[in-house]
Amino acid sequence: MMFDQVQSSANLASRIALLDQVISDVTRTGPQFADLMRADVTTSPIPYFGDPCSAVVATIGVNPSATEFSFHARRWQPMPKSGEALNNVLSGYFTNPTVGPHEWFKGWADCLEILNCPYDRDAVHLDLSPRATRSMGQVPYDRFLEMVVHDLPWFFSALRLCPRLKAVLMAGAVTKKFYMNEFMSRYAKNGFAFTLARRLEAQSRGSTALYRLTGPGIDLPVFFYRRGPSARGGGASLATAITQHLKELKEAGF
């Protein structure tokens, strides 16, 4: 067996093992965060969208939308019960010929086109929490924050499943309390660090900047922008920011 095939097989085994662990943890702790969930939608945990093994760029969000399951029900029939079944759905998320990606990804997809790293070839999306809850603005901030902090180790585990990854795009906020860069700076622990590398505009809360995410097996440049793709006009604003700072992003390793 060729080296690349061995590496791919090992990565697949690691993905399935991680997904089995995430399914088990989310099931076990489900009652703890039941008040954040939609009672009318059956969901599955989603640590990543796309193929981690082929990705060179990752986009980062807070958590999946429950509308992924209500608007795209065909993708989730039957609902995956094992890590292997869940990986089959997630790794082909952006290449599925019959069910397209959630419209939320449009803003990030436009940004990835600027970098020539489309989701269906070179990019993956990771969330800080794999739980598809009610909208972040519809639940108590403290409870939602508690959930994301609890689930953050799964995000770092998913990040380590991306052997070709060379850069990260991050935008928006984790509740109204923290911009995502502030959240990562505060809650990245256990050997991981999120540190400022270069400001790209005047210093202020949420200012556009380049960061460095480091930890066991990870050393990645991160571009942060204050407005996420789901904000009104956020996708276009985000794409404009990436275009304006494309030179700096390329210099950083994007």
Given a cut of 60, whether residue 118 has pLDDT beyond it is yes
| Share of residues in the chain with pLDDT > 90 (%) | 90
- d(Cα 152, Cα 138) in Å, to the nearest integer? 21
- Residue 57 phi, psi dihedral angles, 5° rounding: -130, 140
Q: Which range among 148-162, 176-190, 205-219, 232-246 shows the weakest confidence by mean pLDDT?
A: 232-246
Contact 65, 102 (CB under 8 A): yes
User: Per residue in 40-84, pLDDT tens?
Assistant: 999 999 999 999 999 999 999 999 999 999 888 899 999 999 999
Confidence of residue 137 (pLDDT cuts 50, 70, 90): confident
Q: What is the pLDDT of residue 2?
A: 52
User: Per residue in 153-187, pLDDT tens?
Assistant: 999 999 999 999 999 999 999 999 999 999 999 99
Over residues 22-50, mean pLDDT: 96
The domains of the chain, with CATH numbers, are 3-252 (3.40.470)
Structure tokens at 134: 């009610």
Q: What is the pLDDT of residue 230?
A: 83
Q: What is the pLDDT of residue 73?
A: 87
Those residues whose C-beta lies under 8 Å from the C-beta of residue 182, and which sit 6 or more positions away, are: 205
Q: What is the pLDDT of residue 3?
A: 38
- d(Cα 57, Cα 162) in Å, to the nearest integer? 9
Those residues whose C-beta lies under 8 Å from the C-beta of residue 4, and which sit 6 or more positions away, are: none
pTM for this entry: 0.94
